Amino acid sequence: EDKVVQSPLSLVVHEGDTVTLNCSYEVTNFRSLLWYKQEKKAPTFLFMLTSSGIEKKSGRLSSILDKKELFSILNITATQTGDSAVYLCAVPNNAGNMLTFGGGTRLMVKP
Amino acid sequence: DAGITQSPRHKVTETGTPVTLRCHQTENHRYMYWYRQDPGHGLRLIHYSYGVKDTDKGEVSDGYSVSRSKTEDFLLTLESATSSQTSVYFCAITRDPQETQYFGPGTRLLVL
């Protein structure tokens, strides 16, 4: 059975801090790993990773994948209160017809 | 933003009553999904569709049924609502299930 585990469950930091969120996965046939941000509404897409060691970057957010150790990290530098959200990672299942989501990491950034 | 709407956005109902939630898309995407989201459980897949009249069960399908008679609409029905089905329900669509899914705004359902 496919499995996605995120850590930590929750995190409280102050503005300006750098945070690292973790996502480990077990899937029979790896295709990709996706990161989403969810504020008080629907999840929105951040990154899709398919290759090990290649960093994806968008502003202060970046993510990298390690297919050998079966994990991905999401880094946020110089955090702002607007980064407060639940961050979700997901992988397509073996059949490639649905996503398996992790439980999410709840990030709170204090002023 | 992907053109996805959900209706109703909020609903309060009583145990034992039938409830139907609607997901409507204007993107002509083949794949549509229904999730529920509960504290401590993340997003869990209820049912999905890979085409008109083609549906399959997800992780937590008991107590739910779906129908897709048109590409743009995917309906989720709770035949006889129970309090354990109180949740936030999200619809999602994608052109390719191995790529990103785009989520609707969610429906908050309270079963009393």
pLDDT in the model for residue A22:
98
Q: Does B34 touch chain A (CB under 8 A)?
A: no
* CA B31 centroid distance within chain: 12
CA distance B69 to B49: 11
Pairing of strands B10-13, B107-111: parallel
Q: Which of B11, B13, B39 is nearest to B107 (CA)?
A: B11
Q: What is the pLDDT of residues B55-72, one digit of tens each?
A: 999 989 999 999 999 999
Q: What is the length of chain A? A: 111
A30 touches chain B (CB under 8 A): no
Would an 8 Å CB–CB cutoff place B104 in contact with chain A? yes
Q: Which band of pLDDT confidence, cut at 50, 70 and 90, is reported for residue B91?
A: very high
Give mean pLDDT, residues B29-55.
Answer: 92
pLDDT for position B63:
96
Least reliable range by pLDDT among A101-105, B39-43, B88-92: B39-43
Helix, strand, coil abundance in chain A, percent, nearest 5: 5, 55, 40
B112, B5, B96: which is closest to A31 by C-alpha?
Answer: B96
So what's the pLDDT on residue A40? 81
- Tell me which residue of B106, B98, B84, B109 sits closest to B35, measured CA to CA: B106
Average pLDDT, chain B: 93
CB-CB: which of A34, A42, A96 is closest to B90?
A: A42
Main-chain dihedrals φ then ψ at residue B85, nearest 5 degrees: -95, 5
Please provide the distance, in angstroms rounded to a whole number, between the alpha carbons at the two ends of chain A.
41
| Minimal-distance CA residue of chain B relative to A4 | B42
What residue of A is the nearest CA neighbor of B44?
A: A101
| pLDDT beyond 60 at B97 | yes
pLDDT of residue B1: 54
Q: What is the pLDDT of residue B39?
A: 82
Give the pair of three-digit tokens for residue B40. 């401590």
* SS3 state at A55: coil
Give chain B positions within 8 Å (CB) of A23.
Answer: none
Kindly give the confidence (pLDDT) of every residue in chain A, 111 residues in length, as a single tens digit, with 9 standing for 90 and above: 789 999 999 999 999 999 999 999 998 888 899 999 999 889 999 999 998 888 999 999 999 999 899 999 999 999 999 999 999 999 988 777 788 899 999 999 999
Distance CA B85, CA B79 (A): 11
Cβ neighbours around A20 below 10 Å, total: 11
- pLDDT over 70, % of chain B: 98
DSSP B84: G
C-beta atoms of A92 and B33 within 8 A: no
Pick from A31, A42, A97: CB nearest B50: A97
Q: Is-contact B10 B89, C-beta < 8 A?
A: no
Say which of A48, A98, A103 has its CB closest to residue B41.
A103
CA-to-CA distance for A86 and A106, rounded, in angstroms?
A: 4
**pLDDT of res. A29:** 85
CB of A106 closer than 8 Å to CB of A11:
yes
| pLDDT value, residue B2 | 62
Distance CA A30, CA A3 (A): 12
What is the pLDDT, as a whole number, of residue A41?
85
